[in-house]
Amino acid sequence: MNNFKWSKVSLMVLAIILLWLKTYVIYKTSFDIKIENWKQELILFINPLSFLMFILGIGLFMKEKYRNRYILITTFLISAVMFGNVVFYRFFNDFLTIPVLFQTSNMSDLGSSVTELLNWTDLFYFVDFLILLAVVLLKPKFVAYREFTKVHRRAFFLVAIAISFFNLGLAETERPQLLTRTFDREMLVKNIGTYNYHIYDAFLQSKSSAQRALADGSELVDIENYVRANYKKPNENLFGIAKGKNVILISMESTQSFVINNTVNGEEITPFLNDFIKESYYFDNFYHQTAQGKTSDSEFIVENSLYGLSRGAVFFTHSGNEYKATPEVLNENGYFTASLHANNKSFWNRDIMYDSLGYQRFYSLPDYDVRDDNSIGWGLKDIDFFEQSIAHLKEMPKPFYAKFITLTNHFPFELGEEDLYIQPYNSTNKTVNNYFPTVRYTDEALKLFVERLKEEGLYEDSVIIIYGDHYGISENHNKTMGEFLGTEVTPYVSTQLQRVPLIVHIPGQKGKTISKVSGQIDLKPTILHLLGINTKRNIDFGTDLFSKDKTDFTVLRDGSFITKDYVYTRETCYDKSTGEEIEKSTCEPYAEKAKNELEYSDKVIYGDLLRFYENTKSKVITEDKK
């Protein structure tokens, strides 16, 4: 066109360039995306471009007035999505997925954490929108307004297509099978960009809805065979040892194993637990296996012996599925089952999911007296939570299975002066510093709770199981963690940091430390066997931790796995005795099993396959140990 003025920039081009550059700046400043070579840097740089061209290019088909509006609205929406990602990343060290986006009930409950996470400088994330708005309102001379012809449009989209192929081609050489293996969101974002990643995520989401509709019972055959082949018979000395006893299951918020038997400023971080493990079974190679669903994932894994999903929280995405969780099994065996947690009942969709898990009662926020003076951070302080829970425990029919979920040791690890049993760690990292006093506080709360259980005569009749739900200190804090631990936090060390405490206290049993490599997935069969309940016909992916045949092996949700001698993470094999990288082939024999575990478990969830499983009635307590 003759009236095309190349010296002037169109609003659309301006929008594309601004969004593109902003996205790249955000990649570099707000996310911790590891770049290993110039090709990856190039991919990262160009990856927002094709998406932006396609989406804003739609405006080429509109009249000027509508086009400007479209550009403004689109820029705002894209900026909002990006900003959402940034805030989410600050908290979870991960990128958003569609299922978590719909967890608005969670987001609104973040409360103190959100203010901690937001800053006035965050306005930067909308700077392009503000510039475009000013341009539309002030109409400066350097911006051209015009209609576009068919030729312009064709050329524009051809360029966009070329760029996206170039991007995908480069990504494919860097990362073969990128889209078929999606355990690692960072890898995806790095290669195809946040925006395309969201589209891909939407595709996955609709795929999983379709998967349920299309699934049928025959898919269970392979899975059942796999689970049967991995079944390990229980330890004869312990099977049924706690038959008829109450079970008190305590999920410790954000507690990792490195705090056990450790000190900060010369003071014990967990004095009570350090003593308690001496009279309990203590598992020091026990890993959390959670992903985006955090606490809810740990609950899911522990009670179903299934893995959580790699994206979203099963508590949200598949709360309507058929399960055969520990509470349901115990109901059938004459137990009263309850979960106790002083938070909104809808957080993590618990109120809905607990029904599917078989809980008879959920003691949530309205069951507690929560005031300003007994709350901190996310809500009721742990000491008050346990103290008030005693009344609930007393009213429960016996035997009971009661799950307690603590809260005080939650990011941002806030604590009042009066609850500071130890001083914070001394570094420039506030999160890491404050982590120790809140862990110490929860330790104190546990001590008081056990004392109260003794006073109420509940202690001798109860098996007490305490475990950490997931990490508290994310990889964002590797540098400070390295200072604290006195060793650089390599991917190997980081994987070892995913260990969380597991303590199993059985009345009448002596203390013992068990170093078998294990994970949250193993708890369900362990608990059921202690109570004398057969699990041979269950679809459980874990193994009884006390079984003599239990192998040293556990898989993390990102595909990492740990054996007796090796740690495999980020496609690298490490020797546990040295922490050094070794030949990848050494880890290879276990890789298949790790992959199968996760894939089979995912299949069960996506296809809602347990609805086809006949074993809905587990046998009432049986002595059959085979």
User: What are the catalytic residues?
Assistant: 295
Nearest to 586 by CA among 606, 605, 600, 572: 572
Stretch touching ligand GP9 by CB under 6 A, among 7-15, 341-349, 433-441, 600-608: 341-349
Choice between 201 and 469, CB closer to Mn ion? 469
Interface with ligand GP9 includes 489 (CB under 6 A)? no
Question: 167: how many CB neighbours lie within 10 A of its CB?
Answer: 22
Per-residue mark of binding to ligand GP9, 294-333 (x: CB under 6 A)? xx--------------------------------------
How far is the C-alpha of 50 from the C-alpha of 168, rounded, in Å? 10
Name the minimum Å distance from CB 253 to ligand GP9: 6
Name the minimum Å distance from CB 505 to ligand GP9: 23
Name the minimum Å distance from CB 336 to ligand GP9: 22
| The amino acid at 600 | Y
Choice between 408 and 560, CB closer to Mn ion? 408
- Residues from 277 through 296 that contact ligand GP9 (CB under 6 A): 294-295
Furthest C-alpha separation in the chain: 93
Residue labelled with tokens 């902003």: 22
How far is the C-alpha of 370 from the C-alpha of 384, rounded, in Å? 9
Look at residue 175 and give the partner it binds from ligand GP9, Mn ion, none, a contact being a CB closer than 5 to 8 Å depending on partner kind.
Answer: none
Nearest to 445 by CA among 219, 598, 251, 256: 251
CA distances from 564 to 485, 497, 550 (A): 22, 16, 12
Q: Which residue's Cβ lies closest to Mn ion? A: 295
Interface with Mn ion includes 295 (CB under 5 A)? yes
How far is the C-alpha of 132 from the C-alpha of 200, rounded, in Å? 28
Of these, 343, 388, 434, 462, which contacts ligand GP9 (CB under 6 A)?
343
Stretch touching Mn ion by CB under 5 A, among 64-72, 252-260, 441-449, 555-563: 252-260
> What DSSP letter does each residue of 4-27 carry, written as one string?
--TTSEEHHHHHHHHHHHHHHHHH
Choice between 253 and 540, CB closer to Mn ion? 253
How far is the C-alpha of 5 from the C-alpha of 605, rounded, in Å? 57
Stretch touching ligand GP9 by CB under 6 A, among 159-167, 395-403, 405-413, 576-584: 405-413
**At 518, phi and psi to the nearest 5?**
-150, 175
Interface with ligand GP9 includes 405 (CB under 6 A)? yes
Name the minimum Å distance from CB 357 to ligand GP9: 15
Interface with ligand GP9 includes 255 (CB under 6 A)? no
| DSSP letter assigned to residue 478 | H
CA distances from 535 to 42, 247, 248, 322, 455 (A): 52, 17, 20, 17, 34
Name the minimum Å distance from CB 470 to ligand GP9: 7
Of these, 20, 27, 281, 347, which contacts ligand GP9 (CB under 6 A)?
347
> What DSSP letter does each residue of 396-455 carry, written as one string?
S-SSEEEEEE--TT-TT----GGG-SSPPP-SS-HHHHHHHHHHHHHHHHHHHHHHHHHH
Choice between 469 and 540, CB closer to Mn ion? 469
Q: Tell me whether the omega of the peptide bond preceding residue 366 falls within 30 degrees of 0, making it cis.
A: no
Stretch touching Mn ion by CB under 5 A, among 291-299, 321-329, 516-524, 581-589: 291-299
Choice between 286 and 347, CB closer to ligand GP9? 347
How far is the C-alpha of 420 from the C-alpha of 437, rounded, in Å? 6
How far is the C-alpha of 145 from the C-alpha of 235, rounded, in Å? 78
Choice between 148 and 348, CB closer to ligand GP9? 348
Interface with Mn ion includes 290 (CB under 5 A)? no
Q: Contact at 8 Å (CB) between 389 and 404?
A: yes
Which H/E stretch holds residue 177?
A: none
Helix axes 430-455, 382-395, angle to 10 degrees: 30
Residue labelled with tokens 């115990």: 330
**At 254, phi and psi to the nearest 5?**
50, 30
Look at residue 347 and give the partner it binds from Mn ion, ligand GP9, none, a contact being a CB closer than 5 to 8 Å depending on partner kind.
Answer: ligand GP9
Q: In 242-270, which positions are buried (b, 16+ CB within 10 angstroms) versus exposed (e)? A: beebbbbbbbbbbbbbbbbeeebeeebbb
Stretch touching Mn ion by CB under 5 A, among 30-38, 56-64, 100-108, 246-254: 246-254
- Report, in angstroms and rounded to the nearest whole number, the Rg of the chain calculated over CA atoms: 27
Stretch touching Mn ion by CB under 5 A, among 89-97, 286-294, 308-316, 518-526: 286-294
Residue labelled with tokens 């995913």: 498
Q: Across the strands, what pairs with 572?
A: 569
Per-residue mark of binding to ligand GP9, 584-613 (x: CB under 6 A)? ------------------------------
SS3 161: helix
Interface with ligand GP9 includes 410 (CB under 6 A)? yes
Stretch touching ligand GP9 by CB under 6 A, among 121-129, 187-195, 340-348, 475-483: 340-348
Name the minimum Å distance from CB 421 to ligand GP9: 22
Q: How many residues bind Mn ion (CB under 5 A)?
A: 4
Look at residue 405 and give the partner it binds from Mn ion, ligand GP9, none, a contact being a CB closer than 5 to 8 Å depending on partner kind.
Answer: ligand GP9
Interface with ligand GP9 includes 249 (CB under 6 A)? no
Of these, 253, 303, 443, 558, which contacts Mn ion (CB under 5 A)?
253
Q: How many residues bind ligand GP9 (CB under 6 A)?
A: 10
Interface with Mn ion includes 292 (CB under 5 A)? no
Stretch touching Mn ion by CB under 5 A, among 260-268, 461-469, 592-600, 606-614: 461-469
Interface with Mn ion includes 469 (CB under 5 A)? yes
Nearest to 359 by CA among 308, 390, 325: 325
Q: Name residues whose C-beta falls within 8 Å of residue 508's C-beta, 6 or more positions apart in sequence.
A: none
| The amino acid at 169 | G
Choice between 284 and 351, CB closer to ligand GP9? 351
Choice between 193 and 293, CB closer to Mn ion? 293
Per-residue mark of binding to ligand GP9, 198-237 (x: CB under 6 A)? ----------------------------------------
Q: Contact at 8 Å (CB) between 168 and 200?
A: no
Chain contacts with ligand GP9 (rule: CB under 6 A): 253, 294-295, 341, 343, 347-348, 405, 407, 410
Chain contacts with Mn ion (rule: CB under 5 A): 253, 294-295, 469
